[in-house]
Structure 1
Amino acid sequence: MATVDTSNLGVGSGLPLASLYANLETAENTKLTAISNQKTTYTAQLSAYGKLQSALTNLQTATAALGKTATWNATSVSSTNTAFSATTSSDATVGSYTVNVDQVAKAQVLMSSSLSSSTTQLGGTTADGTRKLTITQPGTKDPLTITLSDSDTTLNGIASAINKAGGNVAATVIKADDGDFRLLLTSKSTGTSGDMTVTVTGDDTLQQKIGHDSTSSALSIQTPSQNARVSVNGIMIERSSNTISDALTGVTLTLKSKSTADEALDVTRSTDSTTQAVKNWVTAYNSLQSTIASVTKYVAVDAGADSQSNSNGALIGDSTVRSVQAQLRGQLTEVQSGAYAIMAQFGITQDPDVGADGSTGNLKIDETKLSDALTKNPEAVQAYFIGDGKTTGLATSMNNTLTKMLSTSTGSEGVIQNAQDGINATIKTLDKRYTAMQATIEATMARYKAQFTALDSLVTKMNSTSTYLAQQFSSSSS
């Protein structure tokens, strides 16, 4: 509201009009305070629904993971291997394989002859002072093409230009001794597909010093390339890289060295990742219960108190929250078809005790019982959570429920979105009421000021007339 100057009210009349005006204004502003308090309450509810939405979203993420076949098909490598290492994905088939690394892949390395200086220009004279260096490799789509100026034809200049080009070749200048410098070119790709052909166009002199192809070469092969070769169950596999991911489905082999003997690669079902997925779900469910306890908390006050405690949750007694909690708890007790009908059979139960934060119905895990079930009958635990993948199975049905609850799609809004929309609409209405009330109060106070100003003026005139008459009577008497 605009500040009104009332300091002159009552100055002429002597009446306490300024303080009276201030008291009236304070009384009128209590109407705004009531609206502000309502808005504060609804804003707190909106914030609480945001926390509830976040907790439900986390639970949905954990629930959806339990509803995926990939979660239950997680595998790991249980063998310890020397000549290679291996990792697996959910596509891997559980089993044992015999692996023997015949040879690891190597990258080709080319080296120039000994040159007396790394800074002496090696190129000949060209018409425009430039020449073109091209390095091609069978496994690289586009050749590496570099334009060299006269100053770039030193060993240092050639190496720098190649490295700056960012291709599939690394260049290094090696100083073996004083007056003994060599250019080293190394393919960044292993295998024969990384073999290099080096051609200088427009400068025969430089070509004779660093050119290289399969028929003639100024560069010697320091390290010949070779493909990786590995035998899996007696079948020889050859690849250009030491990382082989397409030989065994779901298994990536990384070759380290030539084998001295056959090694067993054991792929087993990973109970660790599955156990973690179950724990994540239990943690998310319990976190939701904690959030619900917080936003619906009730703190008792002394008998006869006029108001509720300020520590109460913003959604205390909220029917939507009760409905959400009841629906999810109800699903926990639904009997599933299969070897495991209820969670207690594989070690998950509801805790009858109230948590330290006031939450109830929390889940607890008997890790020994869960581990035993996942080891001996993982398919049954999977069936309990996944069911038919459409409507049955705890994770499937709970994920469907959470999806509906959290839906924000127009026309199919979930209970959370509906509740938030309702609160936002109420807050907008309160904002309009506040603005309208402000205008009403300003008009009322303007009317009061006009009336007080008129009263002040009238009383001032009356006082002036009274003083004049008193003076006249006094003069007549004397």
Structure 2
Amino acid sequence: MPAISNLNIGNSTFDLDKLYSQLEQYETQTLTPITQEATKVQSQISAFGQLRTALEALQKATTSLNSASALDSTSIISTNTSFSAKSNNNASVGNYQILVKQLATAQTLLSDKISSNTQPLGTAGAEGRTLTLSSGSGEPVTINLSDGDTSLNGIINAINKSGADVVATSIKSSDGEYYLSLSSKNTGADNTINVTVSGDDTLQKVIGYDGGASKTGMHQTSQGQDALIEVNGIPVKSASNTVVDAPYGITLTLNSVSAQEERLEIANNTADAVKNIKAWVSAYNNVQSVVTSITKYSGSSGLSSDTSSSGPLMGNGTVRDIQSQLRNVLNVTQSGAVKIMAELGITQNTTKAADGSVGTLSIDENKLSSALSTNPHAVYEFFLGDGKTTGFSTLASSTLDNILSDSYTSKGTLTAAVNTLNDSYDKLVQRYDQQQARIDTTMARYKLQFSQLNKALSEMNQTKDYLTAQFSNSDD
């Protein structure tokens, strides 16, 4: 409540304004412990926010580790010309000899000469005229054609809008004549095109095609064919130039016919696995750094009570519990060939880090890379286990979920602590408002009392002046 600047005291010998201000200052001091406690709670909530951010980054890094492709992956290390290759985590490390003998192509058809691209090619007024297109085993597509749709441009537009597995275009020759060209959208020997016009024999003779030897209608200019390759001398046929699982776990994209066999070499991809593991260690160390910052003790000695710059969560039990949960994950012995992290070159530091954090991790990258190269499946098993109850990253993911969970039915360790602090802050706000209301009421009462006192003093001064004047007159 703002101080009252003047109580209309007049010539009173009592400085009621000053006294009122002193009383107001005294009353306001009762708010200080509440505001100090509220500030402390807010700083604790903010500190838990920093910890949550660090833990969520660790959770993200754990998710990246919690998959086979992140740890047990392979990569193509050869450079090839007639094909390119990609591997997945099912691919086996090894070398293959690849020979591309034939690329897959799509069938193309061409019409005879057409003198105009805008003049109708069918019989005027034909009723029920339809064009049916099919390619390979795909469902036939039937298109209704009006007279205007039977021009070369109209036919091309109708086909390309129909959704059929056929692409239509026109070609203009040097002598000014036009040709209709149809191509299957899909490569392969079985993806042959069939074109049938019903209700208009004239148009059928211009653009019809059924694969026969008819001298009317369209004719084949390029036969659809399958891709033919050999993998270690074994023939492989594909309707597409994308060949999957030959070899298993490898996708080949064919570019050209081979001049000779090319060597395809597949190796363990240790770089990505090392990157993912390093990212996890970095995220874990960042959690330890944040914990150190928010729980630090800044007293100058063991007997000092000066903790003004100490961390807002110094000595906090929830933070200690979270640290304990994370350390327990590090100490679990797995059942596979790799049992502890130290076997992968990941160890806990016994000394403080530069920022004062304790329990950080360090990596011997040479040892880690060696383990990934010699026995990647053992590393994979160490981290993933059965994906349910065993495996380092499986346990870490479960632990972080227990810490960070914010679901309606299950509040995590950190979430529960922050909710408690938010409740405390709300109660402090309520206490502050109640105390402020009490102060406002008290100061209003003081104002009334001081105003009454001022009036009484003024009346007494008037009486004093009157009596003084009377006595002075009586002496005369």
TM range (shorter): 0.7 to 0.9
Instruction: Please say if residues 13 and 456 of structure 1, whose CA atoms lie closer than 8 Å, have aligned partners that are also in contact.
Output: no
Matching of residues 258-407 of structure 1 within 5 Å? 258-299=257-298, 308-310=307-309, 312-329=310-327, 331-333=329-331, 340-386=338-384, 393-407=391-405
Distance (Å, rounded) in 2 between the aligned partners of 1:133 and 1:472: 130
Task: State the number of aligned residues.
Answer: 473
Instruction: Please say if residues 91 and 249 of structure 1, whose CA atoms lie closer than 8 Å, have aligned partners that are also in contact.
Output: yes
**1:27 and 1:205, CA in 2 relative to 1: closer, same or farther beyond 3 A?**
farther
Amino acid at match of 1:349: T
Confirm or deny that 1:188 pairs with 2:185.
Answer: yes
**1:211 and 1:10, CA in 2 relative to 1: closer, same or farther beyond 3 A?**
farther
CA displacement at 1:433 relative to structure 2: 1.7
Match of 2:433 in 1: 435
**1:248 and 1:454, CA in 2 relative to 1: closer, same or farther beyond 3 A?**
farther
Distance (Å, rounded) in 1 between the aligned partners of 2:123 and 2:344: 81
**1:94 and 1:12, CA in 2 relative to 1: closer, same or farther beyond 3 A?**
same
CA displacement at 1:160 relative to structure 2: 3.9
**1:205 and 1:380, CA in 2 relative to 1: closer, same or farther beyond 3 A?**
closer
Secondary structure of the residue that 2:326 maps to in structure 1? Answer: helix
Match of 1:426 in 2: 424
Distance (Å, rounded) in 1 between the aligned partners of 2:126 and 2:31: 88
CA displacement at 1:235 relative to structure 2: 4.1
Amino acid at match of 1:184: S
CA displacement at 1:108 relative to structure 2: 2.5
Distance (Å, rounded) in 2 between the aligned partners of 1:16 and 1:293: 55
Amino acid at match of 2:348: Q
Distance (Å, rounded) in 1 between the aligned partners of 2:291 and 2:219: 74
Instruction: Please say if residues 133 and 164 of structure 2, whose CA atoms lie closer than 8 Å, have aligned partners that are also in contact.
Output: no
Distance (Å, rounded) in 2 between the aligned partners of 1:471 and 1:161: 120
Confirm or deny that 1:86 pairs with 2:85.
Answer: yes
**1:475 and 1:355, CA in 2 relative to 1: closer, same or farther beyond 3 A?**
same
Matching of residues 13-412 of structure 1 within 5 Å? 21=20, 24-63=23-62, 65-66=64-65, 68-126=67-125, 132-141=130-139, 143-148=140-145, 150-165=147-162, 168-177=165-174, 179-201=176-198, 203-215=200-212, 218-299=217-298, 308-310=307-309, 312-329=310-327, 331-333=329-331, 340-386=338-384, 393-408=391-406
Instruction: Please say if residues 134 and 164 of structure 2, whose CA atoms lie closer than 8 Å, have aligned partners that are also in contact.
Output: no
Amino acid at match of 1:284: A
Distance (Å, rounded) in 2 between the aligned partners of 1:395 and 1:346: 14
CA displacement at 1:74 relative to structure 2: 1.5
Distance (Å, rounded) in 1 between the aligned partners of 2:32 and 2:452: 30
**1:324 and 1:122, CA in 2 relative to 1: closer, same or farther beyond 3 A?**
same
Amino acid at match of 2:52: Q
Structure 1, residues 337-373: CA drift from partner, whole Å, max 9, x if none?
A: 6655543444223344533433333222222222222
Distance (Å, rounded) in 1 between the aligned partners of 2:408 and 2:241: 52
Match of 1:9 in 2: 7
CA displacement at 1:247 relative to structure 2: 4.7
CA displacement at 1:288 relative to structure 2: 1.6
Instruction: Please say if residues 301 and 309 of structure 1, whose CA atoms lie closer than 8 Å, have aligned partners that are also in contact.
Output: no
Consecutive unaligned residues of structure 2, counting only runs of 5 or more, are: none
Aligned-pair RMSD on alpha carbons? Answer: 3.9
Deviating more after overlay: 229-238 vs 119-128: 119-128
Distance (Å, rounded) in 1 between the aligned partners of 2:11 and 2:123: 110
**1:75 and 1:467, CA in 2 relative to 1: closer, same or farther beyond 3 A?**
same
CA displacement at 1:395 relative to structure 2: 3.7
Secondary structure of the residue that 1:177 maps to in structure 2? Answer: coil
Distance (Å, rounded) in 2 between the aligned partners of 1:441 and 1:167: 83
Distance (Å, rounded) in 2 between the aligned partners of 1:147 and 1:465: 117
Amino acid at match of 1:375: S
Distance (Å, rounded) in 2 between the aligned partners of 1:151 and 1:469: 123
Structure 1, residues 204-243: CA drift from partner, whole Å, max 9, x if none?
A: 5444433333345633333322222333344433332221
Deviating more after overlay: 380-389 vs 43-52: 380-389
CA displacement at 1:244 relative to structure 2: 2.4
**1:439 and 1:126, CA in 2 relative to 1: closer, same or farther beyond 3 A?**
farther
Structure 1, residues 69-115: CA drift from partner, whole Å, max 9, x if none?
A: 55443122344333322222112233444433332221223333333
Distance (Å, rounded) in 2 between the aligned partners of 1:116 and 1:322: 87
Distance (Å, rounded) in 2 between the aligned partners of 1:294 and 1:204: 87
Amino acid at match of 1:171: A
**1:32 and 1:233, CA in 2 relative to 1: closer, same or farther beyond 3 A?**
same
Amino acid at match of 1:220: H
Scaled by the length of structure 1, the TM-score of the pair is 0.81
Instruction: Please say if residues 199 and 212 of structure 1, whose CA atoms lie closer than 8 Å, have aligned partners that are also in contact.
Output: yes
Q: Percent of aligned positions with the same letter in both sequences?
A: 45
Distance (Å, rounded) in 2 between the aligned partners of 1:7 and 1:149: 94
Secondary structure of the residue that 1:173 maps to in structure 2? Answer: strand
Distance (Å, rounded) in 2 between the aligned partners of 1:374 and 1:214: 56
Distance (Å, rounded) in 2 between the aligned partners of 1:137 and 1:429: 74
Amino acid at match of 2:193: M
CA displacement at 1:172 relative to structure 2: 3.0
Deviating more after overlay: 99-108 vs 191-200: 191-200
CA displacement at 1:423 relative to structure 2: 1.4
Distance (Å, rounded) in 1 between the aligned partners of 2:124 and 2:468: 125
**1:166 and 1:430, CA in 2 relative to 1: closer, same or farther beyond 3 A?**
farther
Amino acid at match of 2:56: T
Q: Which residue of 440, 444, 447 corresponds with 1:446?
A: 444
**1:341 and 1:457, CA in 2 relative to 1: closer, same or farther beyond 3 A?**
same
Amino acid at match of 2:365: E
